[in-house]
Amino acid sequence: MKYAIRILVLTSTLLPLLAAAQLGNGVVAQVPFEFTVANHVVPAGDWLVQWALPNTKGTVQIRNLSGKEGLFVPVLPDEAPKARKDCALVFHRYGQLYFLAGIATTGSHTIYRLRETKAEAELRARNMTAAEENIIASMK
C-alpha cells in the first residue's frame, strides 16, 4: 500500500513537469469567432498561448497578437487516450457561443484544460449539449 501511495505521489508530482515541456514557446492560432476564456469574452483574431513564466507550469498567458487583450489563466494537465497529430485550441460550442476548454499539442497525450466558466456551467445546467471544435494551431 505504501508503494502504491509513493507511486501515486511521484506520478502526481512529475506529470505536470513532464507535460510542461510540451507547450514549448507557445502555440499560435487564428480564431475566427469571439469566445469566452476565464469569464471574459474576447474577440476573434490571432491568439498566442504560452506559459506565463518559464518556471510556472500551472498558468498560461493567452494574448491577442493584433490587439491589447491578454489574460492569465490557470490550466491543469489531463491525459488523452491518443497522442495528437496536431496542435489545437479546443473549444466547447453551444449554438453561437464558444468557450476555450483546452490546449493540445502535437504528439502529446496531454491536453491542458481550463476551468469551466460560469456562463458555460449555466448552459450545461439548462441541459444544453456542447459540440467540441478544434482550431488548428502552430507551435511558435
Q: Where are the domains of the chain?
A: 2-139
Q: State how far the Cα of 34 lies from the Cα of 6, in Å rounded to an integer.
A: 44
Across 55-77, average pLDDT:
89
16-57 pLDDT tens trace = 433 444 456 799 999 999 999 999 999 999 999 999 987 667
Name the nearest CA neighbour of 16 among 72, 62, 75: 75
Across 80-84, average pLDDT:
86
89-129 pLDDT tens trace = 999 999 999 999 999 988 988 999 999 999 999 999 999 99
Residue 5: pLDDT over 90: no
Q: What is the pLDDT of residue 81?
A: 86
**In the chain, beta strands by DSSP E:** 27-31, 35-37, 40-42, 45-53, 56-64, 70-79, 87-94, 97-104, 110-114, 131-139
Place 69 in a pLDDT band, splitting at 50, 70 and 90: confident
Q: What is the pLDDT of residue 67?
A: 80
3-state secondary structure of 108: coil
Q: What is the pLDDT of residue 54?
A: 75
